[in-house]
A and B are shown apart, each in its own frame.
Chain A
């Protein structure tokens, strides 16, 4: 594969790219953000009611980060993320019912209710998880980008994947690999960034920098916390710092970077400033920050800001349309909850032991009566 140097881009770009987009597009972003917010509110409630088990990490506060970045990609650019992944699933187009049912552990979930909150997968939408080991998804991002580059430069045709037309030409793709600020400190990321820089892989590492890794503030967890792009410098990768609270601004900054990485088939690294409003997970006493701090960030809420922009500045969204949008989100999430609630749990007789291997040891893959019955050689 060709070696591509990671020189800073030279393409010039218009100011305020988002200003040139159709109103329906930017209104669509707000709709997605509102949906994610509503979805997470109700997810939190369902968790409190013990309808959701496992662990649950809500995305509330970070909506603009995922909506603005995904808006800058093509629907078949592969993306991969960590465990705070409901927003990514919804923004990528996963059916909210499948997402909710997954957390309810129901068979209709995106992974048959086997993965749960941390493991949202949606292959048709090119979402490759949802990963529970912090930082472990970052080499996968490099691999997805490697495959994309291989398709384009070596195979010259797309790999056989769902929804890919046979005989269609290979495209230049960019992989997005999201990570939290805590993942900055995992060895895996540094190996992955070195590989990406060395091989010139079209992957963008998007650090959703919400300031905390569980109870550890970023300054207590990583070096050069006030300028993370220096970490990218170390691997010869273009680094950017982007404000992730204003979705329009975020798009304006991020889209050209995606375009450049796509065109030049090279990596980038983005320190995307954001903030999570709620605890790390559902049981977090939050001793590590003050309510004041949380309130300060809530004051620049990305949904409020975007709604204000569209209603008052761009004047493309009448107030009643915004109200209707919120109502619609409530309805969509209500339906998702109902769907999850009414879906059956996986039948242990068929599902406990399915999908482990395509060809398990003969006689060692009981199903049906074998799971609990006398014929189960594993009992």
Chain B
């Protein structure tokens, strides 16, 4: 089994699905000749030709809208948006078209679209290149939103996304792109959208997170006293999210900390906290805590680490809910 980085595993999934399904096409800025800004599509144009790995002009609205048109006609387009901030120009197409056609046509027209988007901070990039907008897209009914944290999950989730009949925003945490390798099967396998992963079983406190902060939470756990037993849940899918996994865990532990990079106010942590009190109120031994980014524009690199939730802040929040 090859040991791959996140970048390589996504590349492998794309390659295998393009081989399996001739309806799959990739389009985006510099995805062909250059292999994409993060080199995720490296080698694919050589292999599948410029008809299937299409270099487009710098035009996100055009890229997204064209991909939606392709999907309407029965293709399986995978547009790449270079950074999450550039979803801005494409937002209208994604939210006002892709998200709504199933409803608008009462199921007659569906949009099997997978939008690949690097996301999040931690690479010393400025705002627009370090943001975490997952809650914005999760808020729009008709879109599925996923954010794998590991190479293994990325391949399985990407294959699910491409085969899904609905539009999926596939966020790739750029901090993890090349940060480590793990074994990724060459076989075909999928990870269902909407299924969380219990990274670590525990009994005292549930920590829910997704994307790059999974690793901050793991680091926090290393530093906690040995008798503190943390159940760490990697949500993997933001929408639909695995309500059962979260609620079952909190019913067991009675305490929960939600961790994400996005600003705290109206971040997806708010949704998790609200769901927990709706479904597990009487099990709670402490208020649900959120460890998140601040309500500010993602700061330039000197202050980046002050903004991003880190192991220290996660550890403090865990101690706080335990001491409550």
Contact = CB atoms under 8 A, between A and B. Distances in A.
B85 A132 contact: yes
B146 to A, nearest CB: 25
A378 B295 contact: yes
A353 B89 contact: no
Nearest to B309: A379
Given A54-B126, A105-B300, A353-B296, A288 B59 contact: no
A113 to B, nearest CB: 6
A313 B300 CA distance: 47
A356 interface: yes
Interface in A191-248: 213-216, 220-222
A185 B58 contact: yes
Contacts of A105: 300-303
> How large, as a class, is the contact surface on chain A?
35 or more
Interface class of chain B by DSSP: loop
Interface in A173-198: 182-183, 185-188
A106 B303 CA distance: 10
Interface stretch (B16-24, B29-37, B190-198, B272-280): B29-37
A44 interface: no
B86 interface: yes
A353 to B, nearest CB: 6
B165 interface: no
Interface in B36-86: 37, 55, 57-62, 85-86
A187 B89 contact: yes
A371 B85 CA distance: 26
B128 A379 contact: no
Interface string A340-371: 00000110100111001000110011000001
Given A182-B58, A214-B29, A356-B296, A132 B128 contact: yes
A345 B57 CA distance: 38
B313 interface: yes
A114 interface: yes
Contacts of A53: 124, 300-302
B228 interface: no
A134 interface: yes
A215 to B, nearest CB: 4
B55 A216 contact: yes
A58 interface: no
Contacts of A361: 265
Interface string B164-177: 00000000000000
A54 B295 contact: no
A96 interface: no
A119 interface: yes
B75 to A, nearest CB: 22
Interface string A153-170: 000000000000000000
A214 B300 contact: no
B303 A351 contact: yes
Given A116-B301, A215-B33, A378-B292, A132 B57 contact: no
B62 A185 contact: yes
A352 B297 CA distance: 9
A117 B34 CA distance: 24
Interface residues of B, number: 40
A221 B57 contact: yes
B184 to A, nearest CB: 26
A135 B301 contact: no
Contacts of B127: 132
Interface string B73-111: 000000000000110110000000000000000000000
B290 to A, nearest CB: 8
A336 to B, nearest CB: 18
Nearest to A131: B128
B265 A216 contact: no
A345 B299 CA distance: 12
B302 A113 contact: yes
Interface in A314-357: 345-346, 348, 351-353, 356
B163 interface: no
A129 interface: no
Contacts of A2: none
A55 B57 contact: no
A188 B88 CA distance: 11
Best-buried of B294, B302, B307 by chain A (most CB within 10 Å): B302
B214 interface: no
A119 B302 contact: no
What 9 pairs across the A-B complex have the smallest Cβ distances?
A53-B301, A105-B302, A185-B57, A348-B306, A215-B34, A182-B58, A53-B124, A221-B57, A54-B126
Given A135-B89, A378-B265, 5 more contacts: A53-B301, A185-B62, A215-B34, A288-B34, A346-B303
19 contacts: A53-B301, A54-B126, A55-B125, A105-B303, A113-B300, A116-B300, A133-B89, A136-B89, A182-B57, A182-B58, A183-B58, A185-B59, A186-B61, A214-B34, A214-B58, A221-B57, A221-B58, A353-B296, A356-B296
Interface of A: 53-55, 105-106, 113-119, 132-136, 182-183, 185-188, 213-216, 220-222, 287-288, 345-346, 348, 351-353, 356, 360-361, 364-365, 371-372, 378-379
